Structure 1
Amino acid sequence: MTSGTTINAYGVMQAGGPFKPYQVEVGDLGATEVELEVLYCGICHSDLSMIEDEWGVSKFPIVAGHEVIGRVLAVGEQAGHFKPGTVVGLGWNSGYCETCHYCRRGDQNLCAEARFTTLTGGGFADKVRADMGSLVVIPEGVDLVSAGPLLCGGITVFNPLIQFDIQPTAKVGVIGIGGLGHLALMFLNAWGCEVTAFTSSEHKRTEALSLGAHKTLNSRDPEEIKSASMSFDFIISTVNVNLDWDLYIQALKPKGRLHFVGAVVDPIQFTLFPMIFGQRDISASPVGSPAAIETMLDFVAHHQIRPQVEIYPMSQIEEAFKHLKSGNPKYRIVLSRE
């Protein structure tokens, strides 16, 4: 068992407050815990939501950061299969109950007792601790600098491909070309699908084509969307704003699915009859299980997929979050300790 240690972090003391250097004293390493040296940590919009307590679950002081690429420093007595020096990833969850029905069948991401990394001590720090069951080894061939966003944004858009058995012959639409959407385009193109990007930004239409889209449609132009009526097997929405969802439902083929991974806070509205007569589905999902993350990382390594990231030193975390708030990152931000 490893004795306690001091974690040097960047914490937020109150909702919406600035980042400040913050030391956390932690006790002995638990039997199933692993301590990591943080190498890189992505910044996700969910981190912003947590430090501003938009969801009402944050506890202050808070050390956020849940897209961690780290090197194993020490392991608990039951976590010896993680060897010191191994590079691993830690995402949204830092641990699971491991005993509920969902954990036992491999759906740990649905565990009601799952622990949020941002609430147990996240990756905006020099070290982080997590339960061994939440960690995944980063396979050879995955770029470590840009890998952090895969552990949240990446798995969020990859998980539905597995859950709904999306076929490589499917025609798929992606709403929103940002942190999530740009990854969805790359994944779906490599998956073999015919990919259409929905975006309201003219300059992003060109970028979408370079990222893997075969076609683009204006997400704010009703007539343009109507022109694609009954075209798609699957549409994935990565945006956090309400749109005219009836238009997108009507763009689905019979038995098609509109799937949400972007967090729209306000209630969504849609007309039921097109759902009934077309036997269409509406669904949503969070991040994936550790096994799903491992599958995604193997897929990424095989297809040499890299999130598009902007790099900031960890010491410039305040500037990095200002850039995030500006809405202009292309497309994810990563903090580096190297």
Structure 2
Amino acid sequence: MIKAYAAHEPGGELKPFEYDPGALGALDVEINVEYCGICHSDLSMLNNEWGITQYPFIPGHEVVGTIGAIGDSVTTVKVGQRVGLGWYARSCMNCEWCMSGDHNLCLTAEGTIVGRPGGFADKVRAHHKWVFPLPEQVNPEVVGPLFCGGITVFNPIVQFDIQPTDRVGVIGIGGLGHMALGFLRAWGCDVTAFSTSPDKEAEARQLGANHFINSRDPEALKAVENTFDLIISTINADLDWNIYIAALRPKGRLHLVGVTPSPLSVGIFPLILGQKSLSGSPTGSPVTITKMLDFAARHNVEPITETFPFEQVNEAMEKLRNGKPRYRLVLKH
């Protein structure tokens, strides 16, 4: 039996819960969970904001632990090896997207907490191709959030062939944004942080920003028109997106990884005139996740975290619910 924390209704309290996972699949592995990050997606799923949650619901998709058991056909990892698991736990491995290396775009990919029991538990299972050995240089206590939030902001750097000479803006200095600043600075880019909180400027610069803009200052926003090769929005809020499109250079891109509450409303003429792009992306493929881990280890990029024991999971979720983490929360056995 696997011991976990589960909610039985939308927004419900997470309570001790046990389930029988059945026989281990030939291509699956079982992870003994040591740490598990808490992502805002866990809260969205807990509340059934996306209408896809199944109850009892076990959150947790930023898992770090050791391999406890492997299926008969698994050769990529060994029992006792420390690994990580992120948003996806499985993909078909046969479609054009999986075969071309874009497993995260597989139309039948399974989220670790979508119709499956997640990592707020003592054990969790996944397909071996979605389980990643940790480089020795990374700290297992804090690396968990890289497997969702981290790869979400790292993936666009690789997908869009961002150059060290590029000027890149990051909207929002929170759970995702603070990791984006670290990756982009280490990548060599000229990095600007956009935030509605002027008191975050000093910390944003420490995290990797070369420049800081108060996004409530119209004059500051006007001054950076035609400046950026890429702007990444990490926030879950509605903004005047036309302002940020105006801030792009010709062929620049406004890329969203935060889920806005409302459909976007943008002027098409500026996009056409400047050959600018508006896009979004999910997390990342197994190859890109491996690149991210190697890059993070080489450049000492890691999230800033607060740790709670698993027994205080509801207190940790409440801290996330009230928007007070600095900047990611991690549960520890």
TM-score (norm 1): 0.97
Selected match of 1:60 from 55, 61, 65: 55
Q: Following the alignment from structure 1 to structure 2, what is the Cα–Cα distance between the partners of residues 321 and 202?
A: 27
Q: Write the distance in 2 (CA, Å) between the matches of 1:80 and 1:102.
A: 23
Deviates more, 1:267-276 or 1:219-228: 219-228
Task: Give the counterpart of 1:311 among 274, 294, 307.
Answer: 307
State the Cα distance separating 1:254 from its structure 2 match: 0.6
Q: CA–CA distance in 2 between the matches of 1:220 and 1:43?
A: 29
| Percent identical | 53
Instruction: Please say if residues 185 and 209 of structure 2, whose CA atoms lie closer than 8 Å, have aligned partners that are also in contact.
Output: yes
1:215: which partner in 2?
A: 211
What pairs up with 1:125-274 in 2 under 5 angstroms?
125-274=121-270
**Are residue 11 (structure 1) and residue 6 (structure 2) matched?**
yes
Unmatched runs of 5 consecutive residues or more in structure 1 = 1-5
Are 1:73 and 2:103 counterparts? no
Structure 2 distance, partners of 1:136, 1:292, is 11
Conservation of the 8 A alpha-carbon contact between 1:222 and 1:247: no
Supply the distance in 1 between the matched residues of 2:86 and 2:225 (Cα, whole angstroms).
Answer: 37
Deviation at 1:223, TM superposition (A): 2.0
Aligned to 2:24: 29
SS in 1 for 2:20: strand
Once the two structures are superposed, residues 307-336 of structure 1 have per-residue CA deviations (whole angstroms, 9 ceiling, x without a partner) of 000000011000001100111111000000
Secondary structure at the residue paired with 1:143?
Answer: coil
- Partner secondary structure for residue 143 of structure 2: helix
Deviation string, structure 1 residues 31-81 (Cα, Å, up to 9, x no partner): 011011000000000000001000000000011100000100010000133
SS of residue in 1 equivalent to 2:54: coil
Tell me, in whole angstroms, the C-alpha distance in 1 between the residues paired with 2:107 and 2:216: 37
The yes-or-no answer on 1:111 pairing with 2:106 is: yes
**Superposed CA offset, 1:217-248 (max 9, x none):** 11122221111010111100001101111110
Q: What amino acid maps onto 1:331 in structure 2?
A: Y
Unaligned runs of 5+ residues in structure 2 are none
Quote the Cα distance in structure 1 between the aligned partners of 2:80 and 2:65: 9
Distance 1:41 1:287 in 2: 17
Root-mean-square deviation (Å): 0.7
In structure 2, the residue matched to 1:89 is 84
> Does the Cα contact within 8 Å between 2:76 and 2:128 map onto a contact in 1?
no
SS at match of 1:144: coil
State how far apart, in whole Å, the 1-side matches of 2:243 and 2:125 are: 45
Tell me if the contact between 1:149 and 1:307 (Cα under 8 Å) persists in the aligned partners.
Answer: yes
Q: Which residue of 2 aligns with 1:3?
A: none
1-side partners of 2:113 and 2:38: how far apart?
A: 12
